[in-house]
Amino acid sequence: MRRHKKRILLICENRDISLLTRLYISRSVDCEILDCNGPEQAEQAFKTNHFDLIVLDMYDYSRLSSLLRLIKGHTKSEVPIVSMCNPNAVMNPLIEFTKISNLTLIDRFELKELAETATSILGLRKHKPDSSADPVH
């Protein structure tokens, strides 16, 4: 039986950052990535897809707040959420969301950490040859 490929929803306001994040995740994790740039597109994505992980990179905290409410309303189970943020910024609006058990905060500039976190959360291995698959003679 074939397993379904894990799906990540990437919600990112900045198109360049979205492309860079998508590239970094896809190089590290074997998965499907659907990206959108805000709550409106995310709502459409939730209507037609199931996601195993949601990655957020939102600068506008009011949009982030409404997006987290939208996610909570559309996901039936505790879908893991990773929110990238600037650790030097005052993040008062995010403090209330740290109480969400399935939310992980990551430094916006640590894409390697993001890829490692995604790999860990999804229970996947990184792309690399599997030496144990070599035939035994």
For residues 104 and 118, is the Cβ–Cβ distance under 8 A? Answer: no
Question: CA-CA distance, 11 to 39, in Å (whole number)?
Answer: 8
What pLDDT, on the 0 to 100 scale, is given for residue 27?
80
Q: Which range has the worst mean pLDDT, 6-15, 80-89, 107-116?
A: 80-89
% of the chain surpassing 70 pLDDT: 73
What pLDDT, on the 0 to 100 scale, is given for residue 13?
81
Question: CA-CA distance, 35 to 82, in Å (whole number)?
Answer: 14
- Top pLDDT among 60 and 130 is at 60
Residue whose C-alpha is closest to residue 24's, from 84, 113, 128: 113
pLDDT digits (tens, 9 = 90+) for 16-52: 778 888 888 888 778 888 988 878 888 888 888 888 9
For residues 82 and 55, is the Cβ–Cβ distance under 8 A? Answer: yes
Question: CA-CA distance, 102 to 17, in Å (whole number)?
Answer: 23
Domains of the chain from N-terminus onward: 7-124 (3.40.50.2300)
What pLDDT, on the 0 to 100 scale, is given for residue 130?
44
Predicted TM-score (pTM) of this structure: 0.76
pLDDT digits (tens, 9 = 90+) for 60-76: 777 777 787 788 777 66
